[in-house]
Amino acid sequence: QVRGPGLGVVGVSKGAEVALAMATFLPQVVATVWINGTAFLHGNPLVYKELRIPPIPYFTERVLFTEVGAMDNSAIFADPRDPAYRASAIPVEKVRGKVLFVVGEADRSFNSKLFAELALARMPPESGRILSYPGAGHLIEPPGSPLCSYSSIRGTPRPLAWGGELQPHARAQEHSWQEILQFLELHLGSVATMKL
């Protein structure tokens, strides 16, 4: 249900990268939930009006394979702190709303904790905070969702490893869901206060 005037955005993985870019460039986005994403463009450029942010290339030759033969992509991302990639950073210093970063520390897709910390360090004071969960994997979803440590996605020759340990991941989903709901209600307004 759209209440307005501000919008909330929730993104996971590549969607979190897009959500952070929306928070940066669209003033109507006042609350952003970023779940295990990046703070730099990877693979594809961001083109918005006259702006073009170049991507950091994927280094697919660095793919690792798990004990069950799934692809572990954690090594295909270059170190975003390398000055050569400065132009690929999403300019989060322009964020006007609030951002909640949700991080699974056992994410086997990429180092989302590092990306969250780098983004938060460049954002305006008090505009974001990080929830970090040891043992949680990449796909942090609503409570009751099963842990998905591996899955196939279109365009990959083998399943991808997402990481996570069963109990810590489940606890992270339960805790983060309550935090996400409170965050969105705080910044978007309560349903109880909405005029019908």
pLDDT of 4 over the 80 cut = no
Q: 190 pLDDT band (50/70/90 cuts)? A: low
Q: What angle do CA 116, 118, 122 make, to 5 degrees?
A: 115
13 labelled catalytic: yes
Residue ranges of E strands in 54-159: 64-65, 71-72, 98-104, 128-133, 150-151
| 107 noted as active-site residue | yes
Give the per-residue pLDDT at 2. Answer: 63
**Closest CA relative to residue 97, chosen from 20, 16, 161:** 20
N residues, the chain: 196
Q: Are 184 and 33 in contact (CB under 8 A)?
A: yes
Q: What is the mean pLDDT of residues 139-145?
A: 95
138 in active site:
yes
DSSP assignment of 104-125, as one string?
Answer: ETTBSS--HHHHHHHHHHHSPT
Q: What is the mean pLDDT of the chain?
A: 91
Second CATH level (architecture) for the domain 7-188: 3-Layer(aba) Sandwich (3.40)
Of residues 42, 74, 88, 107, which has the active-site annotation?
A: 107
Q: Please determine, for residue 179, whether its predicted confidence score (pLDDT) is greater than 80.
A: yes
Query: What letter does residue 74 receive in the DSSP assignment?
Result: G
Question: Which residue out of 138, 149, 169, 176 is catalytically annotated?
Answer: 138
pLDDT in tens, 12-62: 999 999 999 999 999 999 999 999 999 999 989 999 889 899 999 989 899
